[in-house]
C-alpha cells in the first residue's frame, strides 16, 4: 500500500488482526456469510414514499438517545442480514439509533416501480436522510455502507459535497472501480460469489416480473450467468445506462472521491475476494476528509476474530461503533444503553 506522504487523505492500517485459524480471505468471507448467526434485534418497519411514486422500506433498530446511523446493506442483503443486525445491536449498546435503508426491491416487500436499485442511485439515500432528519431533528447523523451500500454512500457524499447532511460516514469492503471488480469476480474461485449474487438478482427480477411487466427480454434474463452479464442485460437498460460498461464508468466512486467533504473512513481487507487490491485508491486520490483503513486479511465483510466454537466475534461490530463514537461524540462521554 502507498504511504501517507501528503496532506490530502490518509492510508493507515485498521488494526484488525486475523486469527490463526481463519487467515484466508475466502474463509473469512464464507464464515461471516454462511455461519454467522443472526442477532436477536427487534426491527420496526416503516414505508418511505419517494417523489417518483415508489416506496422504500426502512427498518429501525432499538431506540437510543444518541446519534442516528443510517445503514446501507450490500448487494443481495437486507435489514435481516447478520452483519446488519450485529451492527444495529452494537450501535444500541453505544447509545446510537440505527435505521436500515433497504434498497428498492430488497427484503420481503417489492417496490412499486419497474426499476430497482443500482450503484449510482443516490436520490434514495438523500430522501432517507431528509426523512430521518425531519423525524428526529437536532440529532447527529452518520451513514454506514457495506459493499454496494458503500458505493452508494460514497457517490452520495461526493455528489452533494458540503450539502451532504451527515456528520460522518464509514464504508466497508466497497468496490471503487466497478468494471475491474465485476471482471475479477468472474475468474477463478471467485466465480462462486459471482454466481451466488446473480442467482439472487435473477430471483428479484422473476419476482418483479410476476408483479408487473418489465421492459426486458425474458430470454436475456435466462441467459445471464455473471454479474457483468446481468448489468449489461438488466441493470443498464432498466436504469438508463447504455450497457454494463456505461453503468460501471458512470457509477464507480473512485472518480469522484475528491469531492467528499464529510469525514469518511473506508475499511478494506487486501485479501477481499471481491475487490482487487490494485483498484483501491492511492493517497493522492483521497481528499483530506477521507481515510482508507486497510488490513492484510479480513475478506469481504468478514473480519472474523476470536476462537471457535463459542468465542467467535466480529471485529466490525466493535470497530464501527467505536469509530462513530470517536468522530461524533468527540470529547463527550458516549451513552451506554442496555438492550431490553
**The C-alpha cell that represents 324 in the structure block:** 462513530
State the total domains in the chain: 2
Q: According to the model, what pLDDT value does residue 334 have?
A: 45
Q: According to the model, what pLDDT value does residue 106 have?
A: 92
The β-bridge relationship of strands 304-307 and 311-314 is antiparallel
pLDDT for 270-316, tens place per residue?
Answer: 999 999 999 999 999 999 999 999 999 999 999 999 988 779 999 99
Q: According to the model, what pLDDT value does residue 330 have?
A: 56
Q: According to the model, what pLDDT value does residue 219 have?
A: 80
Domain that holds residue 55: 10-176+252-329
Residues 116, 36 within the same domain = yes
pLDDT at residue 147 is higher than 50: yes
Among 224, 251, 278, residue at a domain's last position: 251
Q: How many CB atoms lie within 10 A of CB 129?
A: 20
Residues 245, 269 within the same domain = no
Residues 103, 233 within the same domain = no
Q: What percent of the chain has pLDDT over 70?
A: 95
Residues 241, 318 within the same domain = no
Residues 164, 190 within the same domain = no
Active-site residue, 147 included: yes
> Is position 66 within any domain?
yes
pLDDT at residue 31 is higher than 80: yes
Q: Using 50, 70 and 90 to split pLDDT, how confident is the model at 214?
A: confident
Q: What percent of the chain has pLDDT over 90?
A: 87
> Is position 340 within any domain?
no
The 3-state DSSP composition of the chain as helix, strand, coil percent (nearest 5) reads 40, 15, 40
Residues 71, 90 within the same domain = yes
Active-site residue, 167 included: no
pLDDT at residue 174 is higher than 70: yes
Residues 191, 137 within the same domain = no
pLDDT at residue 337 is higher than 70: no
Residues 112-125 have a mean pLDDT of 95
pLDDT at residue 340 is higher than 60: no
Residues 37-56 have a mean pLDDT of 96
Among 236, 251, 266, residue at a domain's last position: 251
Q: According to the model, what pLDDT value does residue 4 have?
A: 41
Residues 43, 116 within the same domain = yes
Quote the pTM value.
0.94
Q: Using 50, 70 and 90 to split pLDDT, how confident is the model at 220?
A: confident
Residues 107, 199 within the same domain = no
What's the CATH code of the domain at 42?
Answer: 3.40.50.1820
The more confidently predicted of residues 304 and 7 is 304
Residues 58-80 have a mean pLDDT of 97
- Active-site annotation holder among 173, 272, 295, 297: 272
Active-site residue, 272 included: yes
Q: Supply the mean pLDDT for the chain.
A: 93
- Active-site annotation holder among 81, 147, 173, 252: 147
311-333 burial, b at 16+ Cβ within 10 Å, e below that, comes to ebebbbbbbbbebbbebbbeeee
> Is position 338 within any domain?
no
pLDDT for 240-268, tens place per residue?
Answer: 999 999 999 999 999 999 999 999 999 99
Peptide bond into 309 cis (omega under 30): yes
Residues 312, 261 within the same domain = yes
Name the strand (E) or helix (H) holding 10.
strand 10-13
Q: According to the model, what pLDDT value does residue 2 have?
A: 42
Residues 52, 153 within the same domain = yes
Residues 183-193 have a mean pLDDT of 97
Amino acid at each position: 500500500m502507498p504511504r501517507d506522504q501528503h496532506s490530502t487523505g490518509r492510508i493507515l492500517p485498521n488494526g484488525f488482526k486475523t486469527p490463526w485459524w481463519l487467515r484466508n480471505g475466502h474463509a473469512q468471507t464464507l464464515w461471516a456469510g454462511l455461519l454467522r448467526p443472526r442477532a436477536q434485534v427487534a426491527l420496526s418497519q416503516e414505508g418511505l414514499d419517494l417523489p417518483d411514486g415508489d416506496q422504500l422500506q426502512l427498518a429501525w433498530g432499538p431506540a437510543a438517545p444518541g446519534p442516528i446511523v443510517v445503514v446501507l446493506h450490500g448487494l443481495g442483503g437486507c435489514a435481516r442480514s447478520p452483519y446488519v443486525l450485529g451492527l444495529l445491536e452494537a450501535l444500541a449498546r453505544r447509545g446510537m439509533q440505527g435505521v436500515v435503508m433497504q434498497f428498492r426491491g430488497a427484503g420481503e416487500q417489492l417496490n412499486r416501480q419497474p426499476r430497482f436499485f443500482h450503484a449510482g442511485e443516490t436520490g434514495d439515500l438523500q430522501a432517507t436522510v431528509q426523512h430521518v432528519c425531519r423525524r428526529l431533528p437536532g440529532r447527529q447523523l452518520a451513514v454506514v455502507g457495506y459493499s454496494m451500500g458503500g458505493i452508494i454512500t460514497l457517490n452520495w457524499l461526493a455528489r452533494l459535497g458540503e450539502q451532504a447532511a451527515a456528520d460522518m460516514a464509514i464504508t466497508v469492503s466497497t468496490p471503487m472501480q466497478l468494471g475491474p471488480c465485476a471482471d475479477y469476480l468472474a475468474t477463478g474461485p471467485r466465480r462462486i460469489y459471482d454466481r451466488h449474487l446473480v442467482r439472487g438478482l435473477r430471483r428479484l427480477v422473476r419476482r418483479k416480473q410476476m408483479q408487473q411487466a418489465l421492459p426486458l427480454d425474458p430470454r436475456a434474463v435466462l441467459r445471464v450467468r455473471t454479474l457483468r452479464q446481468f448489468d449489461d442485460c438488466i441493470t443498464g437498460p432498466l436504469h438508463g445506462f447504455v450497457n454494463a460498461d456505461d453503468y460501471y464508468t458512470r457509477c464507480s466512486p473512485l472518480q469522484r472521491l475528491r469531492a467528499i467533504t464529510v469525514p469518511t473512513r473506508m475499511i478494506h481487507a487486501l485479501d477481499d475476494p471481491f475487490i482487487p487490491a490494485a483498484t483501491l485508491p492511492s493517497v493522492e486520490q483521497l481528499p483530506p476528509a477521507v481515510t482508507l483503513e486497510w488490513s492484510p486479511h479480513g475478506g469481504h465483510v468478514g473480519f472474523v476474530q476470536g476462537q471457535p466454537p463459542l468465542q467467535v466475534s466480529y471485529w466490525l461490530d466493535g470497530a464501527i461503533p467505536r469509530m462513530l463514537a470517536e468522530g461524533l461524540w468527540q470529547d463527550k462521554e458516549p451513552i451506554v444503553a442496555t438492550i431490553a
